[in-house]
């Protein structure tokens, strides 16, 4: 019996060490070749590059949403709708349009579910307008913003950000303009994310 208890204790310690292990550079995260400035009033900026139709983003969504609800005061979290090809652009326009209308948070889950659970076709403006209109969004205002000059600037900016941060897949997380997390599962991503935020916080403190 003593040996069994000892085995359980050792197993628990092993699991604990794995859970709280320091993230490994090159395995859990990368450092960008060019560190980028952040623009959030001195806060540690976390960017999530995502696409509603990405199954990996959909799996990450519950974990990142729960995490984002408990942000430390010195952290700012920003979604970046990613555009790897022309087929992804309508969803980026949808995200920014809903954000400007104050409806993005309310419909964020609906858009993920439409793509990944309900298999709803949201591939063009007409289908998207119908979808959001059924959920209380003013169709006329949506169309005006969706096709505005300002929207084109946002789309261009989104594409530039993917290039600037050398994003190769979604979801990808950028921490403080320096660290990149990509290719990990939801739980591991959050573990590494928290560790890198703490790392960035200590690095900033060391500069003063």
Q: Over 80: is that where the pLDDT of 6 sits? A: no
Global pTM value: 0.88
Using DSSP's 3-state secondary structure scheme, residue 50 falls into strand
Look at phi and psi of residue 136 and say left if phi exceeds 0, alpha if psi is from -120 to 50, else beta.
left
User: What is the extent of the structural domain holding 134?
Assistant: 25-206
For the segment 155-189, what is each residue's pLDDT rounded down to a tens digit?
999 999 999 999 999 999 999 999 999 999 999 99
pLDDT computed for residue 12 by the predictor: 46
Strand partners, 46: 77, 175
Q: Does residue 71 form part of some domain?
A: yes
Query: What Cα–Cα distance (Å) separates residue 137 from each residue in 98, 122, 140, 141?
Result: 8, 15, 9, 8
pLDDT computed for residue 91 by the predictor: 98
Using DSSP's 3-state secondary structure scheme, residue 35 falls into coil
Burial of 36 (0-12, 13-18, 19+ CB in 10 A): middle
pLDDT computed for residue 87 by the predictor: 97
In the chain, at which residue ranges do the beta strands (DSSP E only) sit?
Answer: 30-31, 44-50, 75-81, 172-175, 179-182
Q: Does residue 8 form part of some domain?
A: no
pLDDT computed for residue 20 by the predictor: 59
Q: What is the CATH number of the domain that holds 129?
A: 3.40.30.10
**Overall domain count for the chain:** 1
For the segment 116-158, what is each residue's pLDDT rounded down to a tens digit?
999 999 999 999 999 999 999 999 999 999 999 999 999 999 9
Question: pLDDT band at 3, cuts 50/70/90?
Answer: low
For the segment 17-58, what is each residue's pLDDT rounded down to a tens digit?
444 578 999 999 999 999 998 876 789 999 999 999 999 999
Q: Does residue 56 form part of some domain?
A: yes
What contacts 64, CB < 8 A, 6 or more positions away? 48, 171, 186, 189, 190
Q: Does residue 139 form part of some domain?
A: yes
Q: Does residue 167 form part of some domain?
A: yes
pLDDT computed for residue 94 by the predictor: 98
């Amino acid at each position: 019996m003593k040996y069994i208890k000892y085995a359980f204790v050792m197993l628990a310690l092993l699991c604990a060490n794995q859970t709280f292990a320091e993230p490994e550079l090159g395995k859990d995260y990368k450092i960008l070749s060019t560190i980028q400035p952040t623009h959030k009033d001195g806060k540690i900026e976390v960017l999530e590059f995502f696409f509603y139709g990405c199954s990996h983003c959909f799996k990450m969504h519950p974990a990142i949403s729960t995490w984002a609800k408990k942000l430390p005061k010195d952290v700012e979290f920003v979604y970046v709708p990613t555009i790897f090809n022309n087929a992804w652009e309508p969803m980026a326009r949808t995200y920014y349009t809903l954000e400007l209308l104050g409806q993005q948070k309310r419909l964020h889950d609906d858009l993920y579910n439409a793509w990944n659970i309900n298999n709803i076709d949201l591939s063009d403006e007409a289908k998207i307008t119908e979808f959001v209109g059924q959920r209380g969004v003013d169709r006329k205002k949506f169309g005006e913003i969706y096709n505005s000059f300002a929207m084109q600037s946002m789309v261009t900016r989104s594409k530039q950000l993917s290039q600037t941060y050398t994003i190769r897949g979604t979801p990808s997380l950028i921490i403080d303009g320096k660290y990149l997390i990509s290719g990990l599962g939801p739980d591991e991503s959050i573990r590494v994310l928290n560790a890198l935020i703490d790392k960035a916080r200590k690095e900033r403190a060391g500069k003063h």
